[in-house]
Structure 1
């Protein structure tokens, strides 16, 4: 007993000495802390940013359809780009409000390897049913014609551009309806997270009466799975088509030239969520090498422009190849799922991409 007391006293003295010397003695971030940090630092701010980016879209479309001047066309293109980039920061949060009612597919129908957007948009434009321009009507149609990808199709159609000409009248009606639907969807997402009894409260107050999360562990697993999904999407959907010619998948929003900004926004958002979760705080001293490895991997992902080039803000002198980015992203996904999550006492299991 005396030895045990001496040992405890020694540990206390050692910890006190570290604190006195200015060296922090930190505890791992709890599962409750992970969820709180993810929601407050990452999820809610990103959905609010998406909502703010989307709100000017209807007016921007209306201005183009009214005047058709180069200035208003550039303004619409810029606003579409801002909204797409903001969406890239939340695309991987495929649970809760994004999952409910199919909002993710409605907001951005990509990837689209079978070309549903162009086929269904052509059909609508052929029929020219003006009932679709009525409030709420477009939101009852196929997800492929409701969101950003459908609006991009109309904005980037050089053969039949939006404008004040009579020939563009129906296209303008449709574009304004889609832009309004995008505003509705982004507003719903932000509201569903923040409202009383909304998804944030559901995750922050798990328990027996909670119909989704019975414990803080389950809520934390949900967020970690979203991080893994995001890394998976970066590797398999953004990078793999660049190294495997058998995969016929166009880059995200390639008609608007947004492949590189989309990639950068995705990686930036993923790392921000990764940092907020502080999974590395659970690592024992003999596994701290994982932190250094992960930092190096994030630097590699951030040094790529997503299309084989070097990012303007890169910390590396060379450009990581698509193969290197793909391999490093896959390795990071495996480390998060099989090492960091396990060390943090979280059982991730499968994610929504398994079996694809």
Structure 2
């Protein structure tokens, strides 16, 4: 299981200073209304430079290691090479978890999000389609270029989990003289190459000043999407709000059911590979880091000064609760203590979402109640 750095458990939402080149915003005095309108552009630049671009770059760097890790496991077929693949796969999952809520701009183009991870998948579409490819030894699934034209369910990290891990969470890549193993390796390598390519495209697109980031930083009446700094800030802010909904409503609640007896651990993200807890922790840490990077506390009025400390406390509670649980969650979720712990995390996420979408958004005069999943 991936270790989440201790620093992520004690994330502070108070930033010491602004991003290079940003307009200085005077601190809000008690009883003084915040100069919110002057800060919207600062939130955007801080978010872009302090979180979005670095997170996309980290994902690209981790994903770039996947093809070699697959090749190493397939060529050696020993425990050491398989553990190396597991580590690289886990690191890539964690860095993907930190960008999966940024569902606008480059990630929303060309079905990139779904191609990287087909989630949620309540009907098991990916498993059926991947099994068919393996059973037929479909040669068109063995090159990244051809794979990119297939169903989004068979070409990303969720598909790679099905190919590279068995139901007990063991890495199965490798083995000599077995045609099925050879095909699985060829397919896994194509998936790894496709994920690396998509991640690289995301990092390049976000780094391009003439791309989507240019519209975020310089919105205007002639822009196709964003007409003002406030609209740009709300786009990023609402993606964070949506992130809480993703973790709670998509990742946790369907698996929890009404109790341990009705739990469906297979609905948890990446339960097969044993990376559920690391993935959830990375998702939550990413949301905390994105809020911190945005520097939203600079625009709080006197009635909102309690919000940063409250968010810091609840983020810490969620991460510490996850740290007390243990893999494999496909087994341990049936235990009352584990189920109660994950249910507590879901409850904390509801509180975090409400604090951000209602209290923080209200204090900043942002339309923060919208989430991209249901249009609320």
1:169 matched residue in structure 2: 182
Matches within 5 A, 1:1-356: 26=27, 30-157=39-166, 161-167=173-179, 168-240=181-253, 241-242=255-256, 244-245=258-259, 248=264, 250-305=267-322, 308=325, 321-354=341-374
Q: Distance in 1 between matches of 2:357 and 2:228?
A: 20
SS of equivalent to 1:321: helix
Structure with greater Cα Rg: 1
Check 1:213–1:179 CA distance in 2 against 1; reply closer, same or farther (3 A cut): same
Residues 64, 196 of structure 2: 8 Å contact kept: yes
TM-score w.r.t. structure 2 length? Answer: 0.80
How many residue pairs end up in the alignment? 326
Q: Shift of residue 330 of structure 1?
A: 1.0
Q: Distance in 1 between matches of 2:351 and 2:175?
A: 48
Residues 75, 174 of structure 2: 8 Å contact kept: no
Residues 308, 321 of structure 1: 8 Å contact kept: yes
SS of equivalent to 1:352: coil
Which deviates further from its counterpart, 203-212 or 44-53?
Answer: 203-212
Q: Distance in 2 between matches of 1:82 and 1:50?
A: 9
Over residues 285-316 of structure 1, what are the superposed CA-to-partner deviations in whole Å (9 max), with x where a residue is unaligned?
2342333332321221221217757xxxxxxx
SS of equivalent to 2:248: helix
Q: Distance in 2 between matches of 1:159 and 1:190?
A: 29
| Larger RCO (alpha carbons 8 Å, 6+ apart) | 2
Q: Shift of residue 160 of structure 1?
A: 6.4
TM-score w.r.t. structure 1 length? Answer: 0.84
Q: Distance in 2 between matches of 1:85 and 1:352?
A: 22
Check 1:306–1:94 CA distance in 2 against 1; reply closer, same or farther (3 A cut): farther
1:12 matched residue in structure 2: none
Q: Distance in 2 between matches of 1:84 and 1:96?
A: 21
Stretches of structure 1 that go unaligned for 5 or more consecutive residues are 1-23, 310-317
Q: Shift of residue 72 of structure 1?
A: 1.1
Q: Distance in 2 between matches of 1:273 and 1:299?
A: 15
Stretches of structure 2 that go unaligned for 5 or more consecutive residues are 1-24, 29-33, 327-336
Residues 144, 190 of structure 2: 8 Å contact kept: yes
RMSD: 2.6
Q: Distance in 1 between matches of 2:75 and 2:308?
A: 54
Which deviates further from its counterpart, 33-42 or 148-157?
Answer: 148-157
Which deviates further from its counterpart, 112-121 or 277-286?
Answer: 277-286
